[in-house]
Structure 1
Amino acid sequence: MERGRASSPDLSYLVIQGFPLDRNFCPDENIELSMKGRIRTKEVCPICGGDFKQTLHGLWCEKCKTKPNRYFIDLGKYRGKRIRIYSDTNGAPLDSYARAHRLLETIRHELDTGTFNPKDYIKRELRAFWFEERLNDWITVKEKEVEQGAIAPSYLRELKRYADRYLLSFFARTDDVREINEAKINLFLRSLPDHLSPKTRKNILMALRAFLSFLERDGWLSAIPRFPKVEVPEPSWSWIDEETQEMILRNMREKFIPIFFFMMRHGVRPGEAMALKWKDVDLEKETVVVRRTFSNRQLREWTKTRKIRILPLHSETVRWMKKQENRFPESFVFQRNEKGEPFYDRALRKEWVRATTPLGLDIRLYDGTRHSFASQAVNRGDSLNLVQKALGHTTASTTQRYAHVDVSALKKLIEPGEKVVPLEKKRKRKTKEEGNEGN
């Protein structure tokens, strides 16, 4: 061997010790590796959430002593395309580092002999069960359901967000959906970020369950694994009185006041107020028909509960409506500009924050309008049945959650104002003379 020329270190002893030899791993970073391809994984440590590092044992988390469940081979650029291989020629997934290493050695030999063909490593029968393949199919079905009006666009938006941010970040693209079991679902639940609320964690888990139910219905799964139960505490509802609402309205820009006043005094959802058209208004009878809503900027010809309800109009709203010009049947009642375009949810929320922040109020738009409408009605003594009809709830139990009895109302029950017997007798105060007589 020539002097001054560095030779590649002999790592064959690793094979003797039982460790698979990855020629890409070398303790000396200055040595250029001639062999193509690396063994990698998309997973992270299920305990600490850190990346798996290349060690003499393969991919490994030194801190938690864990290893990935799935691997893939990254060949980098091959004939101008990025090549990643997730299974062998029989379609078997790379479920161990040793299997991945053996396949990498085979591929390197094929590259040297010019016989390598990436298509040999994708088995169509197995690909049909890939997690990403089936998930994309499910999302496509949900998109069609939105077009048919079966589900709301906002619900589809949440499903896509859960899929991209949580499902695909945990389940590998080539995971076989048939291998999803109770243990893996529990591991997925524990992998969710700690900052998520219990309700959000439950919603994400229910999205996964809905996906697996879809697979079972279409015959991809024989049964759905058992899901863990996520306890969600009762929400702490908040509401404000009419006086506080008036303070908020005075703090708003003029074009926003009519639609917010309408939501506050009629208990409609923001999407229902935005979707209101002049053909729904009867100024002679002073009534309005709530029949449609906006969801994710898409106009839907039905409400959330698919129920049409007729509401009486507040006298101040009637006065404002009669002053409006160009009341064409298909025009929106509440318009954000001269073009007649409707308000959108984001603009309403921004204006709500803009008006409530200077007042020191920390309350959501929904709670400050619709929920406050219901709470105020109950505190005035209105029946839950009337409140249910106004809100358009399908069940009385839903209305019950919105009903809060004011403490001042309870005070009248406890202390209606009549005279009561004192709990302690008043003692007569002794005079100075009476005290001296006692001595």
Structure 2
Amino acid sequence: MSIREFKTERRIQVAFSFRGTECRELLPPAPITQSALTYAGGLRAEILRKIADDTFHYPDYFPKSSRAKQLDSGRRTSMRTLLDRQLDLYERQHENGALSPSTLDGYRKAINSERMKFWDEMALGEVTPSKLRDWIGALGVTPKRARNLLTPLRSVFEDALNDELIDYNPFDRIALGKLLRQTTKASDYEVDPFTAAERATLLDHARADERPMLQFWMNTGLRPGELMALRWGKVDWVANKARIDRNLVAKTEKGPKTAAGIRDVDLNADAIAGLTAQKGASFLAGEHIWLNPRNGMAWETDAQIRRTLWEPLCKRSGVRYRNPYQVRHSYASALLTAGANPWYVAQQLGHVDVQMVFRVYGKFISQDYQRPQATAQPLASEA
């Protein structure tokens, strides 16, 4: 605190450091008395305390100051505005090909979700680690869902920190991993493969235009998107393999997320039989192998398969319904139960390493990790 001398008056000036900047502000013109000096000292102490608590709002104290606009305007920006800007950025990244449609859709759902509305009326500068910690702790979702929600929110704070709108990222002051372990709930999704008898029943009740795809799928364990994207040119009839290098997600084909996703899947006798049976429907076209029986066109989404083929098939066969992805789990569990080497199974599934196989299918893994012989291939006699 000091007294500034001007030609026509003397003014009290308070000095403090805010956001790394030395600030000096004049108090309104008034007689310089002991009471005025005491007030100025108390005001400075209050400002320093609020700066330390990260609750100082510059315009509340010095509304006409040029530094108020320079140092604090960004902090008053609403979180909803910043989240919407983040979504605009994601949409531009999608337009430039840097973001897949499915990833963009996930970010959009997260930003527009009911849980994210918690931040709508809050300004950037009002977000504290404790508020963030309490919000995350109350999400009540699985770890995966929580991280999907946190990704765009975290990007907002990272950009704000880089733009020097905030002094620190509140995410950096919480033990996020520990918090998620303590507060998120376990996924209720479970690996629930179809038994050999159930697989046989499903095949028996499949229509003639459904059975080839189902038979092939049960014997390769492809992801739904990989199954839909598979073309005839990727089948090696001599080596009995199929090259998997494309995945259809949200009506858009793209390469696998990891290099391990590009692989050659072994085709047993039943998989080859399924392909052979499908030749009359799509082979001459030379493009997609598997078509939607309702319109004769290539499948566009896994939801189409679920609604038009899978749900009706489960209903008329009497097999307890599980989602179509359980076909992949059934393939993997059948291989492992037959004594397949988990590393071989991981390669067939397109996993980066074997850890996923042990984590997801551990109860199906036997002590014998030998690679199965040709006679041990699963489902060969079940079609």
When normalised by structure 1's length, the TM-score is 0.56
Q: How many residues align?
A: 284
User: In the alignment, which of 120, 136, 152 is matched to residue 172 of structure 1?
Assistant: 120
Matched, 1:364 2:323: yes
Q: Which AA in structure 1 matches 2:180?
A: V
User: In the alignment, which of 109, 118, 143 is matched to residue 91 of structure 2?
Assistant: 143
Name the SS of the counterpart of 2:298 in structure 1.
coil
Name the SS of the counterpart of 2:264 in structure 1.
strand
Closer, same or farther: CA 403–134 of 1 in aligned 2, 3 Å: same
Q: Which AA in structure 1 matches 2:355?
A: S
Equivalent residue runs for 1:143-222 within 5 Å: 143-147=91-95, 149-173=97-121, 175-189=122-136, 192=139, 196-197=141-142, 199-217=144-162, 219-222=164-167
Q: Which AA in structure 1 matches 2:222?
A: V
Structure 2 CA distance, aligned partners of 1:207 and 1:150?
Answer: 16
**Offset at residue 284 of structure 1 (A):** 4.1
Name the SS of the counterpart of 1:299 in structure 2.
strand
Partner of residue 180, structure 2: 230
Q: Which has the higher helix share?
A: 2
Structure 1 CA distance, aligned partners of 2:195 and 2:96?
Answer: 40
Q: Which AA in structure 2 matches 1:263?
A: W
Matched, 1:403 2:365: no
Name the SS of the counterpart of 2:112 in structure 1.
helix
Name the SS of the counterpart of 2:186 in structure 1.
coil
User: In the alignment, which of 255, 274, 297 is matched to residue 228 of structure 2?
Assistant: 274
Structure 1 CA distance, aligned partners of 2:246 and 2:289?
Answer: 13
User: In the alignment, which of 192, 196, 205 is matched to residue 242 of structure 1?
Assistant: 196
Q: Point out the structure with max Rg over C-alpha.
A: 1
Partner of residue 273, structure 2: 316
Closer, same or farther: CA 190–200 of 1 in aligned 2, 3 Å: same
Partner of residue 293, structure 1: 247
Matched, 1:333 2:289: yes
Contact 1:241–1:372 (8 Å) recurs in 2: yes
Contact 1:127–1:133 (8 Å) recurs in 2: no
Closer, same or farther: CA 142–250 of 1 in aligned 2, 3 Å: farther
Closer, same or farther: CA 250–150 of 1 in aligned 2, 3 Å: farther
Structure 1 CA distance, aligned partners of 2:256 and 2:82?
Answer: 31
Structure 2 CA distance, aligned partners of 1:278 and 1:168?
Answer: 45
User: In the alignment, which of 305, 311, 318 is matched to residue 348 of structure 1?
Assistant: 305
Partner of residue 256, structure 1: 210
Q: Which AA in structure 1 matches 2:202?
A: I
**Offset at residue 210 of structure 1 (A):** 4.3
User: What per-residue deviation string (whole Å, max 9, x for no partner) do you get for residues 299-346 of structure 1?
Assistant: 22x0232432112332212322443455344x2111115553324211
Partner of residue 420, structure 1: none
Name the SS of the counterpart of 2:265 in structure 1.
strand
Partner of residue 305, structure 1: 258
Q: Which AA in structure 2 matches 1:319?
A: T
Name the SS of the counterpart of 2:153 in structure 1.
helix
Structure 2 CA distance, aligned partners of 1:227 and 1:135?
Answer: 23
Closer, same or farther: CA 223–284 of 1 in aligned 2, 3 Å: same
Closer, same or farther: CA 267–165 of 1 in aligned 2, 3 Å: same
Give the percent of matched residue pairs that are identical in Structure 1 and Structure 2. 21
Contact 1:91–1:126 (8 Å) recurs in 2: no
Q: Which AA in structure 2 matches 1:247?
A: T
Structure 2 CA distance, aligned partners of 1:220 and 1:160?
Answer: 24
Q: Which AA in structure 2 matches 1:384?
A: P
Name the SS of the counterpart of 1:374 in structure 2.
helix
User: What per-residue deviation string (whole Å, max 9, x for no partner) do you get for residues 412-431 of structure 1?
Assistant: xxxxxxxxxxxxxxxxxxxx
Structure 1 CA distance, aligned partners of 2:298 and 2:359?
Answer: 35
When normalised by structure 2's length, the TM-score is 0.63
Equivalent residue runs for 1:43-192 within 5 Å: 125-126=73-74, 129-147=77-95, 149-173=97-121, 175-189=122-136, 192=139
Structure 1 CA distance, aligned partners of 2:96 and 2:347?
Answer: 27
Q: Which AA in structure 2 matches 1:320?
A: A
Relative CO higher for 1 or 2, CA cutoff 8 Å, sep ≥ 6?
Answer: 2
Q: Which AA in structure 2 matches 1:345?
A: D
User: What per-residue deviation string (whole Å, max 9, x for no partner) do you get for residues 351-380 of structure 1?
Assistant: 3233334625142221x2111111111111
